[in-house]
Structure 1
């Protein structure tokens, strides 16, 4: 009689959201629900908030997840809010984040984040299984991502979290979750659209009861996803009002304001950290020489008043509305800005057209690596929050037909499947 599978923890550490699941001796994977107000089920926002407090050692307190958001919204001027810090995991340019007077490395932020996730899990994560499976993107975000550096930082982040840690491509976790719903053999393409990356895996699934249920055939990924789509909206509707495309005077020359000033608005992990004296002093000097000083003043106000969260919350609301309606209103007020603009789905799809083309090319790459033709794909499983964008879904409808597309568990399928992979006799066969 075969032995019962060992308990395993699956952890989807995402750019926007993180989810944990535990698979027990019965072979079933169950999501870890967070407890207490303002918990949002099993979904734990990948965010941190810091503020001064005499109680904690070092005088700096912190929270994570929806509790970080609640703390920030209550005291925005006296706190520092960091979101999507996973996006710098593979960046050689990122050494540390300066929060008030302290510096934190990526692994420091990660450990604090995990500690608070455990604290809000109602005891479900206190006695963690020895075997832990952590999801990782197929390709990390960034111009020249260093996968070895990301692995080093992940190892330090998770070193106190378990004794046996494995890293598995995130779409493979989703594939294993989807396989638990199938009753017959199939070759599937999993498309995982997160906040930072879009990842694709082709997996051959055997009939239930097979010695090896799933076999990964090939994967590909690209650092384009929900955060990039958000930035396209900001770039079109907000940044021109903050000085982008404007000019400043240098001696007797009129020069374009360097685009680098606006790059941080594409990334939550950098935008929230622009509120420091060095950056604000430099912006003050730019404002005095800019042709439109008021525009630079508005940018300073957005940074000083910690309006980044409110800005991207408005962007997210518009993007979600365009997933169900053909037109939506973008509305943002604060820091001297008051923007109300109608945005059509066609506008938005035009802004992200280049991104969609690169995503589609990455789908081709995954199929090529797997050695599988599009016609041999029996099912396409779409997961991740950005999979709900109609233009994303249309890529797969056009290629594979609507009948072959399946969805579900957009925010939780990866963690659910990672825990199941953790019960496999040879987890190393899945490891990235």
Structure 2
């Protein structure tokens, strides 16, 4: 790729990453990844590490679907890291210890991008003129620090492009959707990612207008697909691992500390629980527990690196409940077996409070834009969780099904970011 032409849209997501290149003629093409493990234009936001002398600091790595393949070949000799974007804005996260070596967020991100470029079949060789990076409106995590996230992103992307710009992710989706419209409209974009749910209100002019899209307001919340996964784990898995149990300490019965369950239910932290300190603490807790077997199951799942297959089973259940009223959750691994039928109504009850907070964030975006629900001509829903019936029902109730559009759930943001990168003036788009 010529370093002085082209704009690259980079949707660095919690679950998946997608890149698109603008063609300079009002369109863009998605980067298709090449190789036996490739999954088209969608590159899983995941890393796998294993010890090897020729690797960086004695540790080799892979990313994307190749990371999943490496992990499945040798789960006990590798470390699998996923959803690390969720700690980008966390002051509590300083570094992850992997095979005794410290990795900062920007280290993980830089290694991830190196492999993304390597698997792009030459499409990302060189440096694009502009890189437009999607960022959430509100970062995930407790008390997120946007300035810290920006510094970490800057370090991660250093040297990746000639110019670096950040744009709210739903604005990328809005620009992509606007390219499909033939009439002026006020649109609401709802982007349901892995770590955050974001909204943008955009006014779209007629085709050929000097300025086709004008952003009016955005809002977001750190609740999305990963949180829904945590709810499933909390109700189906953690009770079998000791949650709600007691242990003995100096003659007293005390509840088992909840911190272990919080970590286990979080993809970005579960992967890092396989360390000597945590396992030693859990073994001590197992000795003192009133019922030691559940804690033993947790230790077995961590030691046998069962995080990925466990959350894969959770994802299958969630997808099944999007098209069926009931589905079976089934997991077997690390000496633990779980089978349970789950009704869609159960799942919707588990995420009920999350849905209310998501709807409140949508209202914030409308209020900031100074528009009412009746002023919205079109609603564009994107992201994997937009397929969940309970989420769809919110928008049908508020806007009516005839105003709702979907499509390109995993690729629309990257497409729109690349097109924004071709605009002569980015001031109205950058965050």
TM-score normalised according to structure 2 size? 0.98
1:25 Cα shift?
A: 2.3
* Aligned CA-pair RMSD: 0.9
- Give the corresponding residue for 2:62: 63
**SS of equivalent to 1:360:** helix
- Give the corresponding residue for 2:280: 281
Q: How is 1:22-421 mapped onto 2 (pairs within 5 angstroms)?
A: 22-421=21-420
CA distance in 2, matches of 1:128, 1:135: 18
CA contact (8 A) 1:227 1:266 kept: no
CA distance in 1, matches of 2:427, 2:280: 51
Q: How many residues align?
A: 428
**SS of equivalent to 2:182:** coil
Q: Deviations over 1:238-281 (max 9, x none)?
A: 00000001000001110001111101122211100000001000
CA distance in 1, matches of 2:92, 2:38: 34
More off after superposition, 72-81 vs 332-341: 332-341
1:54 Cα shift?
A: 2.3
CA contact (8 A) 1:6 1:423 kept: no
CA distance in 1, matches of 2:321, 2:275: 35
CA distance in 2, matches of 1:290, 1:335: 20
**SS of equivalent to 1:354:** helix
Mark the runs of 5 or more structure 2 residues left unpaired by the alignment. none
Cα separation, partners in 2 of 1:101 and 1:185, compared to 1, 3 Å = same
Deviation >4 Å, runs of 4+: none
1:55 Cα shift?
A: 2.3
CA contact (8 A) 1:265 1:271 kept: yes
1:6 Cα shift?
A: 5.7
CA distance in 2, matches of 1:152, 1:129: 21
CA distance in 1, matches of 2:117, 2:93: 26
1:11 paired with 2:10, answer: yes
More off after superposition, 261-270 vs 337-346: 261-270
Mark the runs of 5 or more structure 1 residues left unpaired by the alignment. none
TM-score normalised according to structure 1 size? 0.98
**SS of equivalent to 2:272:** helix
**SS of equivalent to 2:206:** coil
CA contact (8 A) 2:13 2:194 kept: yes
Q: Deviations over 1:106-151 (max 9, x none)?
A: 0000000000000000000002311110000000001100000000
CA distance in 2, matches of 1:80, 1:56: 14
CA contact (8 A) 1:6 1:24 kept: no
